Each structure stands twice: as structure tokens, then as C-alpha cells.
A and B are shown apart, each in its own frame.
Chain A
Amino acid sequence: MEKGLRIETVTVVGANGTMGANVAGIFASFGRAKVYMVSRTKEKSRLAAERSAQSVRAHSIMTNLVPVDYDSLEQCVAESDLVFESTAENLELKIQMTERIGKSLRPDAIACTGSSGLSITRLAACLPEEKRGHYFGVHMFNPPYQLTLCELTATRYSDKETYIALKNYLSSVLHRTVAESKDSPAFLGNRIGFCFMNEALQYAQRYADNGGIDYIDAILGPFTGRAMPPILTSNFVGLDVHKAIVDNLYANTDDFARDKFVLPRFVSDLISHKRLGLKSGEGFYKLLRNEAGAKRLLVYDIKTGIYRDVINYSFPFAIRMKKYLKEGEYGNAVKSLIDNHSQEADICLGFLLRYIVYALYTAEHVGYNLEVADDVMATGYSWCPPFALMDAFAGVTDLASLLKSRLDDAFLSHADIDHIVSEYRNSKYDYRPFFKAKD
């Protein structure tokens, strides 16, 4: 028998961070919970509460949000049915904070961390032994109101009944798309997504003479099944966050894709100059506005080290794809990618096929089923998920021969294509909305 969780009071620790404020909004709205928002000062918490309400478009939840500071942490935790730690992604800090939370956590309460990649088991061990069974990783994506993905991770200490109850609560009360992940670096979504984005940066370096960053983003734009090109996405996430995630994956994974997590040199250089992306005004891209408010997007040129105007690339394969997508001819759009053998189309197709293979590989090793790869990529990234992408390809060609003929030998020597094709099933996600007729 599964019991329903009663989560009436929640404490969010680190509530003035972007995720902290957004997660507080989710608990206070869908969860109808009273949420203590803890940050360094009450004023910071108060401002965060306003952002929480804005994030779910509902000012009425303000009455559920209680801004406090760290002086009240113990009191709030002791009162809470669930404590959500959302402090900076730093192991030492999180260990300290989890130990502190553990002291006043009620034995029947749940504690979660929003960590995007640290060891949940290590953090669970910071709690007193009798409370470790109620500790879980609950990783949401930004912004959670739009992206419903929630990666749920248990540890070897976890109480199974509580785990199932929490899973049900997250999906039926908070309306999250719950993806169960093993306690593995960066879990599922970021491992798959950052493999793609970091490889895009590696290619930008390799093709620096062709333009680099904007060249690769033009090849992998929204017309290839995503809301935003990959390097622009990384710019949005933040270069420092990107580095932390891929460094963690490089250090703690050892599969055939490990080298794809090597951060290109130019990225480290940008970070050392505090060019961290959108949040610091410049990174891979730089957005200028003139006095009239008109926008001008510049891109970092790897070759020259300066920001220049984005090049308006027009690759024949991309022009054709967008023309077909505009009128909803998905089969012809996919065919124009496969049938084109230009350097750009080859790069594009290679990325999409390696993504399919690596996403399913990751799901097999880090998840508990393959379909979870679809859930994480569709609802955490708004990228066409792997099985849906296979649906799009399978509509016009033979999947196995496509994969075998268009992936390079080095990659094929590690990937069991026949196994992947034998596991293929139609996605529950419709591939059509993911392919935009846009650059």
C-alpha cells in the first residue's frame, strides 16, 4: 500500500537563488504548502518571494510564503514536513548545511537537495543515521514552471515506502514529470544535455576558422529539434555552471563518451575573465542594446578573441529543412538532412545520431528504463527526445543502416547499434512540435 504524503509546511534553504525561489513557488502553488524561504537576510527572502509568485504567475501564493533568515533555520526545519536545500553547488557548503538541517529535522520529515550533480549518498550520510532514510535528490530544471522535469534520486539508505510516496507527491500534487535516476554524476538530463553542449563547444573550437560558436549553433539550431541552439543554451545556463558540470562528469565517469566532457581551452579563458554568459552580460554571446532599445547580438570569435556580429549563415540543407518544416512536411525535412552530404549536414546529423545513442546508453546505465531518456530531454530541455527523434528518422529511412552508415567508426566501436535499434519503440512524445522552422 502506498501512502499519500501530507506536505503542509516546507522550508526552502537558499531561497534567494534562482532555483530556490522557483522551487518555493512550485511548493506554494501546486503544493499549497506554507513555505519558509530561508536566505541570508529577510529582505533577500522577501524579494525572492515576489519572484516565486511571479514565476508561477500567481500573486495569491504570497500568503503561503514566509521570508526568514538563517537565524530561524532550526525553528523552520523543525516545523517542516519537507526541507528542500537549494544552496550553491559546492560539496563542502552542502555538507555543512545538510548537517545543520539534520539536527532539527523531524524524524518523520523528508529532506531533499536540489543538487544538479553531487553525490546524494554522500549528502545523505551527513544526516543522523535514523533520518537518512528520508533523504532524496530532487533536481528540478530552470524554470520549473515551464520545464516540468524533476529527477528523483534515492540512496542506499532510502526508505522505499517514503520514496514511492514522494514520487507520487511530486507527480500528482506538484505536477512534475518524475524521472528516477541513480545516484550518478549529473544524473540523466544534464549528462545527456551537457555531453551534447560540450561537444558543440569542442566542435566550435575545431571549426574556429568557419566561425566557431555561431557556425556550430547555426548547424544545430531550433530546426534540428530544440528550443535554442546548444551553445546559446550554455550561455544562458552560465559558463561557470557548464564547467562545473562537465568537469564533474569528466572526473567521475569512465565510459566511451568521457572525452566529450573535456572543456575546451577557450571556455576556461572566458571564465577566468568573468565572461560567464547571460548573467554577466557576456560569455559565448554578448547582447548589445542601442539607445533606441534595438538589440544586436555579438558572438565570441574563438580565433581572434573578440566579440563580433553573428554571421547569418545559410546552409542549403538548413534552408531546405526550414522550408519544409514551415509547411509541416516533417518527412521531407528529415530527408533533406539525411540526403545532404555537405560538411554542415554531416556535422548536424552526426550530433543527432550520437545524441540518440548516448541518451539511450545513459538511460540504460543511470536510469531504470529507456523511456526516461525521453522524459528528461523533452521536459527538462525542450529538445526532441531520443525515441521521438528515432520516430522522425524511421518515418523516412531504415534506422539501423542510418546509424551504421553515418556514425564514425570510433563511435561505432563502442556503441551497440543493433541493441539500440532492438530497444526502439515509438515515443510517447510527438516529435513535430520540437522541430521549429527557425534558425
Chain B
Amino acid sequence: MSDKVYILGGAQTDFERNWTKEGKNMIALLREAVADGFAASDFSCEELQRLNANNRVAAFVGNFMAERYIDQGHLGAFLTEVHPAFNGVPSARYEAACASGSVALEAAMSHILAGMYDVCIVAGWEIMKSVDNRMCAGILGRAAYYEKEAKDLDHPFPQLFGRLAQATIEKYGLDRDRYLDNLARISTLNYDNAKRNPLAQTRKWFMSYEEASARGSESNPCIGGLLGVSDCSQVTDGAAVVLLCSEKYIRERGLSGKPVVKGYGHRNAPLLFDKKIAMSGSGHILPWTRQTCLDAYARAQLSVGDIDVFETHDCFTSSEYMALSAFGITEPGREYEAVENGLIALNGAKPVNPSGGLIGCGHPVGASGVRMFLDLYKQVSGQAGTYQVVGARNAMMLNIGGTATTNYVFIVGQA
């Protein structure tokens, strides 16, 4: 048994890259992510073999839908193709739509806490540019109840999160223009932050408040009811790898200063969007998402005041807006305050998505949970470089699958 789960390090690939255009396959993607993740964690294939000789290491692979994107299943087995040091290492694939990375992380954590393994390698990845946009949107529709919610729609998820936007306006009696203005600001903020992130998909792209506000134009068409393209994260390819370990392993290697996982939360809300919204009572629009945050705070014995930086699942601007109150940064219904007064900006008191988030950094779905977790690690260990939040000690993330059906929260901090 280990009392704590430590983070050794990790790496992500450059989310700007299109691996299909490069002519490279999932092995190439994983090979780079694993090599970089090991190097950043001061870990090696020799060390992997040493630990594996005593069955002390395992691998956890997060991926949503390789079966459809690249015609491949049995994804846990593929690490052996990356390097022969993975031969014999227990490894399996975990899936929970866009929260696939988080379910792999949680599985890795629980194996360490149970004392089953001392080092767990978590790899989240997705190759999505292998198909055209329309087909990709259809594949993503499988994260909802496909037959009931997605089958006949062109871009099911933008539409579902467009409905979240509409429901938010109605629930809190918000001024529609002001709310949409808030979403434009959220989009702009994520694009701006991504400019600082050397691995962000959109780091060279242009986005401005004016462009994000001009929904319905030629370059920013409406795609999901109230939402424009500027409100959506974009499809991309990528992988992220992190290495978790037990207290025993930390002592064995004589390591110090490694951050720990302080708290987690995992709740599943009703699958159907309508059922989910029907549950929203007087407070939060997505109560199970809020509950997941509360669970993590309780386990970490921390409150929102203790968190220095957040990474949230801005698959759409409407989900980031919702997350602000789920985290407790504002009261539900008053999220606009945090957007309008600069609280969530990189230099604000509660920075959200310094990495650029899903909108700015990119959203290779199976990688996103691990990428966010990696960013928490980078922030609390002072390794976030140009997008470092100065003095960050505790960091928190929300990663959702489907329409916030699967909810995952992690809090990472200095031990």
C-alpha cells in the first residue's frame, strides 16, 4: 500500500502536428510521447525493464475511438511495438470518451494506492485527422447516446453544447448578448494563452475578440445553435504521457520535490443531455459536475481559495463557462463576473487554462485528460515555461466525457 501517488514527470507531443499528413502512424506518435515522457521524468527503458523483472510497473492507455479513426483496437498491447522494454509489462486501454485520459489516470492511481505497482505509465492519445471533418464529428457523436442524440445531426456535439449555452441563459435569466460576449471573451483568452504555449495547436492562429464576437460570418460560421466555430475546440492529433509512482519508489530513488495527487473526483451524470439538465435544481446547471469538484476538494482537504491555477475542459466555451461555478470560482449564475473582471486571465487571481485549454492547445480527445494533468504537474513544479503561473502550489483540472456525463477532477500539488 502507498499513501500517496507521486508524479515523476511527463510530456506531450506538439498538438499542431498532423500525423496522417506526416505519413506516420500511432506507433510513431506513442514512440515520441513515451521517449519524451521518459526523458522528462528521468526514467529509462532500462529502469522499466528492471522494475518489470519484479512486476512492479504497469501501463494505462487512454483512447476514445481508434477503432473508427484508424481501424485499430486492442490498444493496450501496442506499447510493446514502441519498445521491447514493454514486453511483459501489464498494459490495457481505458475509455470514457473525452475523459479517456482521466479514467486511465485514475486506474493508474488506484493501482499504486493498492500497492499493486510502484510505477504506472499513463499514455493518452488520439489520431483524429485521419478522417475528414464531417466524419470526425460523426465519430465524436458516439460520446453521446448516438441513436437518440447524435445520429441524424451534422455536428452533434457543437449542437449539444449549444443547447447547454441556451439552457444556461434560461436557467439564470441571463442577458443573451452578455452571455455570448462572455463566451467570446473565453475563446479569446484561450487563444491568447495558447500563443505562449510552444506545443499548442493554435499558437500561430489569429483570433480576436472581434472575430470571436462575429458569429455567423464567413470565417466564423454558426455551428451549434448559439455557438460559432470560435466557440469550439478544434480536432487534432496528439499524445500525452505521465509517469506516476509510489512513495516507496520515491524513497528508493532518493527523489524529492515531486508533486502528489492530492484529490480526485469521479462521478457519472445521466447520459442523456435532457435528463442531465432536468436534474439541475436551484444551483448548478450540471450538479454532478459540481459534485465531482466537491469530492476532490474534500479528499484534498482544500477549497477553491487554495487553488492557484485551473485547467478545464473547454471543448466549447459554454462548458468552460459552466466550469467556473463548478470549481467554485464564482457562485452559479454569476460566472460572468470571473470572465468580465479578468479573474481567470493568466495574470488574474484564478487563472484558467494557461495552456490555452482545449480551444487553444488542442483536443485530441483521448490525450486531453492526461495533457491537462501534465499541465497541472508542470505548473506546480515550476516547469510550465512561458505559461507558468508564478508561485503555483496547487492546481486543479476538470475533464469531462460526452455532455459532462463522465466527470473527472484531479487536484495536484506540492507534497
Contact = CB atoms under 8 A, between A and B. Distances in A.
A327 B206 contact: no
Interface in A27-83: 29-30, 32, 53-54, 56-61, 63
A400 B217 CA distance: 56
A146 interface: yes
A328 B237 CA distance: 15
A433 B32 CA distance: 10
Interface in B176-212: 195, 204-208, 210-211
B24 A60 contact: no
B31 A57 contact: no
A158 to B, nearest CB: 29
A326 B19 CA distance: 9
B206 A436 contact: no
A275 interface: no
B31 A59 contact: no
A32 B195 contact: no
Nearest to A223: B23
A327 B211 contact: no
B210 A145 contact: no
B17 A433 contact: yes
A58 B206 contact: yes
A436 B20 CA distance: 10
Contacts of B44: none
Interface residues of A, number: 29
Contacts of B30: 328
B341 to A, nearest CB: 23
Q: Is the interface of A mostly helix, strand, loop or mixed?
A: loop
B31 A327 contact: yes
A60 B22 contact: no
Which among A29, A59, A328 has the highest number of chain B CB atoms within 10 Å? A328
A121 interface: no
Given A57-B219, A175-B195, A327 B25 contact: yes
Interface in A386-439: 430, 432-433, 436-438
Interface string B206-235: 111011011001111000000000000000
Which among A29, A32, A329 has the highest number of chain B CB atoms within 10 Å? A29
B23 A326 contact: yes
Given A328-B31, A437-B22, A59 B218 contact: yes
A329 B17 CA distance: 17
B204 A145 contact: yes
Contacts of B25: 326-327
A56 B27 contact: no
B21 interface: yes
A433 B206 contact: no
A148 B16 CA distance: 14
B131 interface: no
A325 interface: yes
A436 B204 contact: no
A242 interface: no
Nearest to B34: A328
A139 interface: no
A94 interface: no
B106 to A, nearest CB: 28
Given A175-B195, A436-B21, A437-B23, A145 B31 contact: no
Nearest to A324: B28
A32 B208 contact: yes
B329 interface: no
A328 B211 CA distance: 38
A32 B208 CA distance: 9
6 contacts: A59-B214, A60-B217, A222-B23, A322-B23, A328-B27, A433-B17
Given A59-B217, A327-B31, A328-B28, 7 more contacts: A56-B206, A57-B205, A325-B28, A433-B14, A437-B23, A437-B28, A438-B22
Interface of B: 14, 17, 21-25, 27-32, 81, 195, 204-208, 210-211, 213-214, 217-220
